[in-house]
Structure 1
Amino acid sequence: MSSTRFKPGTGGGGGVYKPKLTFEGEELDYNTDRDIHYCIRGVNKQNGITTFSDPQLGFDHKLLDNVAKAGLRKPTPIQRHGMPQLMAGLDVMCCSHTGSGKTASYLLPIITKILRESTIAANTGHTSSSSSGSASSSSSSTSSSAPERKPKTFPAALILCPTHELALQISNDANMFGKGLPVESFAVFGGQSMGIELSRLKRGTVNILVATPGRLLHLLTEFDVLSLGKVKYFVVDEADEMFDRGFFPQIGDIVNQFLTPKDERTNALFSATFPNQIQHFAKKQLRSGYIFVVIGILGGASPDVCQEIVCASRAEKQMKIHKIVENLENEDKKLLVFCNSIEKVNEVADFLVRGEFKAARIHSDLTQSERTQSLKDFEAGRATILVATSVAARGLNIRGVDLILNYELPTNITEYIQRIGRTGRVGVAGETISFFDEDTDAELANDLVGALSSGNQNVPEFLSDVCEAAGEEKEYETEEDLYFKMKKLKIKRCADYFEEEDAW
């Protein structure tokens, strides 16, 4: 395929050339003075929008009111370029850093599409399965003597995500945007009462279903309360995390056994990174000619996040976190602390509680209600510190996080980028501190230097020394050096990435 690139508004003339495949350019982020690089690839791609009220989107006035009440003033780059593709009925693969507004970029078009179908159904006198979510339309054709079927849910939209907390958050956002409209969302996930889920699904009123793959597959195979036979909008959120957690076989079972054919629905994959496995998945699950939207640098950290790496041995960490917490408490700020194990989360949380700091914890050994309560306490300010494993690193929009602290650094750079993405969200500047212990973190040093350099962050001298001691280059000052490091990290610039034939 052609790798020709051009700025929006330019093009070939006279029909001599093939259709241009890529929009590429720079634009000003809505809440900063920083330029954001974007790239949109696909023959039928749509132009970007600048406001939620753009006629190209055609959002309902009540939906626009709800968007304003949610505090969304102007679309973020992923919303500006992603929403028009979905509104045009095109399949999309969207890559953008964490905290960039991906959830709203697919929820708002889905809600709008459901509202339009509901209006058409009302005007024609037909019951729309996508607006009611019930099985009434299918049961109306059966004989009056046939046994009465129990109500069950036929959602119009299915959204898959990797964690309980993210599923609940997406569903809550959908209900917030759809408040006062004939749109109802519900989340199903492991750890939630099965009785509650069965009761809700039997009512047949849910038209946007958010689910973790395991629980959804259990409901589909063991209970007759749910059918995916009328799904018109299918979204996989945090696709790279889905792969990392081993969910792809379950997703395959859901798609192949229960979901409508991909040609009969609009499909979307959203991810912060785009490894080879996700490329392969996208080719299988999206219709041919899907639109590829990339905002910023693939796999890069949010440019709104200030990163600081602090040298700290295991013996020094408690003393240093105590000082950090004291300063934040005096400034009435919130801290999210990441550790690598449940045991370390409990150890750090207990240490802070003994110091009379308001600390909560979240990890997989807690019940779902305990995890939910910890998040509520943190958001409400009853706890100013949340100590967590990586269960809180993906997708969650935890409001009001002023500082991220990696008490323990993860073992890979992707997880590091996801963790620090819990702050600096949707254009608001954030700050992170990471404790670096040379005894345990030396293998991550080179990747940290590359991530810091590519994000225009300062590289501390001790970190460069660690790299130099390992035989690596000490500085990455030239464009060629930086490009080499980005290639090694698989963090590719948009223009370079799209020239690779195998990526398409």
Structure 2
Amino acid sequence: MNNIFKDEQLKPAIRTGLTKIDFTEPTKVQEKVIPILLAHKNAVVQAVTGSGKTHSFLIPVLNDIASETHYTQAILTAPSRELAEQLYQVARQLRDAANLQISIANLVGGSDRERQLKKLNNQKPQVVIATPGRLHDFVEKKILYLDYVKDLIIDEADMTLDMGFLSDIDFIIQRLPKNTTLAAFSATIPVKLSNFLRKYMAKPEQIVIDNPLVISPTVKNDLIDIGSKSRKRLLYQLLTMGQPYLALIFANTKQNVDELTQYLQEEGLKVAKIHGGITERERKRTLREVENGQYQYVVATDLAARGLDIDGVSLVVNYEIPRNLEFVVHRIGRTGRNKMTGHAVTLIREEEMTRITSLEQMGIHFDFVEIKNGELVLRKHYHRRDTVKFSSHTLDPNMKGFVKKTKKKRKPGYKKKIKRAIQQDKAQKNKIEQRHKMRKEKAQRKKRRDRK
């Protein structure tokens, strides 16, 4: 198979740029997506972070830009400012490596709007990377024009849906030229997202890359059942017994991050927090301080997992399991990078074990551990799924005989007859139990009336 990075459809400058940034062999998603977008076909791509999807759309998008014409020709959306910033930096890296004279703008919410306006007035960007809300704002107020847009890329489309931004995307698509190429990239394709995309893409190319939802072999992935213990107290114990180089603790909401940060600080730990509620200036300052080693502990929401690249994370703690189980992979993926060893610990209660089962079915292996004498030691869970014995309905002796007979080979219909008999027996006993219950309740009501 031909290497798409050397395909003559790509401009020589881009081919050179890819070599400069050590892109020699395409990933599976790049191999499939790049030719489709180069041919200006609509696409819906299901691929997770780490599969190489970002370059699978950046390469054809930058290849499509006419550098001599100064109007917006491509729009790339990301659901958070962190993800948009990450996308912006990757796009600039490829542009600079290829020495392309292309203007790229990063328009995100939570940042200085006036400053962005000034930049747009000084130079019209050929590529716009934006969060949906800010993009909607600038298009609605006719600050940004879509008349010549050739490509629209919706990155992290499932997260865009989760964060309530589909209406903003809808507003944008309705104002695009009819011949604009549309492509959506997503880790999962929920029904609501699929219906939305079908509204604008009649027969898109559907590309599904096998989900590499496996944890790096360099990561020790543990599970702790906290039982009746305090979740916060157990977390503090976990964080302080091994003295990690840098621990990243994930909670599901901004409020939980705030509460957890305050608790750990009150316990004497120097803790930083990162979530969508802090200002852009505060976020950048915090990240700079983390990179300089001023913090040993960082508490964050999933935006950090999907958009921030923090080096040196030796421990990841899932303080609580996210609603979207895919996020667990992104969280754990923050440690054990570049063939370094890493450690991930997930805290659960017994009623959450079904969610762990779902994660295991996705290819994630957990070791069940507990804290003993200041160490994590392996244990066997007393309610592990492979040892659980569900209480069965008690059959009377003659029914037990029927069950034993099912093990023997019989004529067709015999087993069905036995199953039907067992079901009838259960139904009959249920009726009797219900009658007893009703009589008991009736007697109790009568006693209460008599007391009155």
Q: Check whether TM > 0.5.
A: yes
**Counterparts in 2 of 1:185-200, with a 5 A limit?**
185-200=104-119
Q: Which amino acid aligns with 1:308?
A: D
- TM-score between the two structures when normalised by the length of structure 2: 0.73
Larger radius of gyration: 2
Match of 1:310 among 209, 224, 227: 224
Distance 1:62 1:51, change over 3 A: closer
Match of 2:64 among 113, 128, 140: 113
How far apart are the structure 2 equivalents of 1:97 and 1:431?
21
Match of 1:272 among 159, 172, 187: 187
Report whether the alignment pairs 1:254 with 2:254.
no
Match of 1:81 among 32, 44, 60: 32
Distance 1:64 1:347, change over 3 A: farther
- Does the CA contact (< 8 Å) of 1:98 and 1:302 recur in 2? no
**Counterparts in 2 of 1:156-171, with a 5 A limit?**
156-171=73-88
Report whether the alignment pairs 1:389 with 2:301.
yes
How far apart are the structure 2 equivalents of 1:59 and 1:304?
36
Q: Which amino acid aligns with 2:10?
A: G
Shift of 1:243: 1.1
Match of 2:285 among 353, 356, 373: 373
Shift of 1:325: 5.5
Distance 1:468 1:273, change over 3 A: farther
**Counterparts in 2 of 1:402-421, with a 5 A limit?**
402-421=314-333
Distance 1:234 1:286, change over 3 A: same
Q: Which amino acid aligns with 1:60?
A: P
Distance 1:278 1:233, change over 3 A: same
Deviations 1:294-328 (A, max 9, x none): 2223xx73453754222225525444445445635
Per the alignment, residue 209 of structure 2 pairs with 295
Shift of 1:372: 2.7
- TM-score between the two structures when normalised by the length of structure 1: 0.66
- Say how many residue pairs are matched: 376
Per the alignment, residue 455 of structure 1 pairs with 363
- Does the CA contact (< 8 Å) of 1:233 and 1:267 recur in 2? yes
Match of 2:162 among 238, 244, 269: 244
Per the alignment, residue 327 of structure 1 pairs with 242
- Does the CA contact (< 8 Å) of 2:18 and 2:24 recur in 1? no
Distance 1:464 1:102, change over 3 A: farther
Single out whichever of 455-464 and 183-192 deviates more from structure 2. Answer: 455-464
Match of 1:214, SS state, is helix
Match of 1:204 among 119, 123, 137: 123
Distance 1:325 1:311, change over 3 A: same
Distance 1:74 1:470, change over 3 A: farther
- Does the CA contact (< 8 Å) of 1:66 and 1:178 recur in 2? no
- Does the CA contact (< 8 Å) of 1:162 and 1:241 recur in 2? yes
How far apart are the structure 1 equivalents of 2:216 and 2:45?
19
Match of 2:125, SS state, is coil
- Does the CA contact (< 8 Å) of 1:240 and 1:275 recur in 2? yes
How far apart are the structure 2 equivalents of 1:381 and 1:214?
34
Q: Share of identical aligned residues, percent? A: 28
Output the aligned Cα RMSD.
3.3
- Extract unaligned runs of 5+ from structure 2: 369-379, 392-452
Match of 2:274 among 362, 367, 376: 362
